[in-house]
């Protein structure tokens, strides 16, 4: 198969089937008979390839192949979700080679991405003034992204994740949970401590603000006493795991 792949910087490289197979294998880790998963997805993927395919198109093609098999086995959803999350990591944080490195990248980039959101008028400036970013960043657990199914990852990324003015995505799923936790804690005596408690519950999908409140976006305003990174009404209702359904 004589196929070249166009990288993000415009350079071309030969299609590396082994590299793709390893990515699929990691996405299928922990699932029963993972070798069969890799073989099936890789075989079906080759039918969609063409010379000059971009790395983004290749990522999307692998995910779509996994999704088209969900009807036969729901576990393919796990593979698709993991593959999609990895593409988000690469766009927001850069490349990584281990869970430890991924955790460190989460820590390194969280504050700078929140500050960029504030500088570009996307987020309330109080987010950069009232919180201990070191404590918040160290508390994040990327492994909790495993709790989200594919549709949950898509919803968080496409509908609610903050993007820069130039279109760059600024949030991975754990950044999103922490930012919402911060917004809910702005009026507390110890905002950082309360944000950490909110984050613990939300990142585990044990408590989520009603989804309709996420869409009432007022990022950089203070139009009400509870205005924050998102305009959320005070409510006692809870919703458990709506994005994992």
Domain boundaries, the chain: 4-88, 96-244
192 in Cβ contact with 131 (< 8 Å)? yes
Alpha helices in the chain (DSSP H): 17-27, 34-46, 55-67, 76-92, 99-119, 133-139, 150-155, 173-183, 191-203, 211-214
Low-confidence ranges of the chain (pLDDT < 70): 1, 209-245
Query: Look-up: residue for tokens 């929140």?
Result: 114
Query: What pLDDT does 38 receive?
Result: 86
């Amino acid at each position: 198969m004589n196929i070249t792949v166009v990288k993000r910087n415009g350079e071309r490289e030969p299609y590396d089937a082994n590299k793709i197979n390893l990515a699929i294998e990691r996405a299928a880790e922990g699932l029963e008979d993972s070798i069969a998963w890799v073989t099936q997805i890789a075989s079906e993927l080759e039918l969609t390839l063409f010379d000059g395919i971009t790395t983004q198109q290749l990522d999307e093609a692998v995910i779509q192949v996994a999704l088209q098999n969900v009807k036969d086995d729901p576990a393919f959803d796990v593979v698709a979700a993991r593959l999609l999350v990895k593409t988000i990591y690469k766009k927001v944080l850069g490349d990584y080679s281990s869970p430890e490195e991924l955790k460190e990248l989460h820590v390194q980039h969280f504050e700078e991405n929140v500050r960029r959101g504030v500088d570009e008028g996307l987020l309330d400036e109080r987010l950069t003034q009232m919180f201990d970013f070191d404590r918040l960043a160290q508390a994040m657990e990327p492994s909790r992204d495993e709790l989200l199914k594919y549709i949950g990852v898509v919803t968080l990324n496409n509908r609610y994740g903050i993007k820069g003015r130039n279109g760059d995505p600024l949030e991975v799923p754990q950044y999103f949970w922490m930012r919402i936790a911060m917004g809910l804690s702005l009026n507390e005596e110890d905002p950082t401590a309360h944000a950490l408690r909110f984050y613990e519950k939300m990142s585990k999908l044990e408590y989520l603000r009603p989804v309709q409140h996420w869409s009432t976006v007022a990022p950089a305003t203070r139009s009400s006493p509870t205005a924050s990174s998102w305009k959320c009404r005070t409510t006692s209702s809870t919703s458990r795991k709506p994005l994992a359904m």
